[in-house]
Amino acid sequence: MEKFDLGIAYVWEYDEDFVNLVEKTLLESDISTFKISYDNIFEVIQKVRNEEINFNFFLDRASDAEPDFEPLAELLTQRETLVFNLYENIKHATDKASMHLEFITAGLNVPYSIIIPPHNEEKEIYLSLDDLSILGRPFIIKPCITTGGGIGVVTGAETLKEVLEERATNFNDKYILQQKIYPSVVEGKRTWFRCFWAFDKVITTWWDDQTHLYSEITDNELNNLGLNETYFITKTIAKITKLDFFSTEIVLTDEKKFIVIDYVNDQCDMRLKSKHIDGVPDRVVQQIIDNLKNKILEIVK
């Protein structure tokens, strides 16, 4: 049987740079890699079935978007392959309703929210004027399970009519109505952060919710602005979700309160800033890959 240290599956064309950088970094430490894409997915599935090929570790950036990759994911979970972001953990972590309640239990600050059942379970819902007044206007409407790229998210809702219309479009999903949170502004920057949990380490970055642009955080900013709190919050989310790699969004308000906004994103966009204006800073991407490398080396020792 041919065996590789890391199998990495991907389908998004913009993942190519990230995957190539993963290969380059890992090979420098004698960690073997194998790329799985549209070009070879059916061949790989057959070879795994026939025990002609296997992987010690698997990073799956494909099966959530492309059903053709699901059989491979199922096969590898039955083997001794260590899958980064176990599928059962992803299912748990990407349910916004569950995360909302578990975050509160863990002592994390979250926006005031109302969770409403799927349309196919309860066609009629009742929201009091008090509920709506606490939410404020505008408020946010999010499907609880459907995730990725802001699918189905309404960020400027004003009325109950919009809630009813949205839940009717996604029949089977719970919805979460969320108070809109506004960041403070420090030295011209909105205090909105995207934090990565990357293979046992936290990386905090500035992320502007209006422009969607990233920038790196300096050590001085971390210390002087008290941003180390984002590390504690992200580590707490990692304990709750048991994921290996995800991002979360955290806002610092005028009241000096850190609030978790976008709970868990299990498929992080790893486009490089050097090639895409709204990409992740190259040094942050490299740090994430180095963390992956170190995690693999730690396990195989």
Residues 6+ apart with CB under 8 A from 180: 111, 136, 138, 139, 140, 155
For residue 117, cis peptide bond before it (omega within 30 degrees of 0): no
pLDDT by residue (tens digit) across 9-67? Answer: 999 999 999 999 999 999 999 999 999 999 999 999 999 999 999 999 999 999 998 99
Q: Looking at the domain 2-84, which fold is it?
A: Rossmann fold (3.40.50)
For residue 138, cis peptide bond before it (omega within 30 degrees of 0): yes
Query: Residue 198: phi, psi to the nearest 5?
Result: -125, 90
Q: Which tokens hold the place of 220?
A: 């001085």
Same fold yes or no, 112-179 and 183-268: no
Q: What are the boundaries of each domain within the chain?
A: 2-84, 112-179, 183-268
CA angle 167, 168, 170 (to 5 degrees): 65
Alpha carbons 286 and 228: distance in angstroms, whole number: 21
Q: Looking at residue 137, what is its pLDDT? A: 82
CA 209 to chain centroid:
16
Residue segments in the chain with a per-residue pLDDT below the cut of 70: 121-123, 146-152, 171, 301
User: 42-81 in b/e burial notation, b at 16+ Cβ within 10 A?
Assistant: eebbeebeeeebbbbbbbbbbbbeeeebebbbeebeeeeb
Q: Looking at residue 268, what is its pLDDT? A: 96
Alpha carbons 140 and 143: distance in angstroms, whole number: 10
Alpha carbons 179 and 100: distance in angstroms, whole number: 13
CATH class of the domain comprising 183-268 = alpha beta
Alpha carbons 4 and 53: distance in angstroms, whole number: 8
Alpha carbons 103 and 238: distance in angstroms, whole number: 11
pLDDT by residue (tens digit) across 273-288? Answer: 999 999 999 999 999 9
Alpha carbons 199 and 22: distance in angstroms, whole number: 14
Nearest to 252 by CA among 227, 235, 224, 216: 227
- Backbone Cα Rg of the chain: 20
CATH for the stretch 112-179:
3.30.1490.20
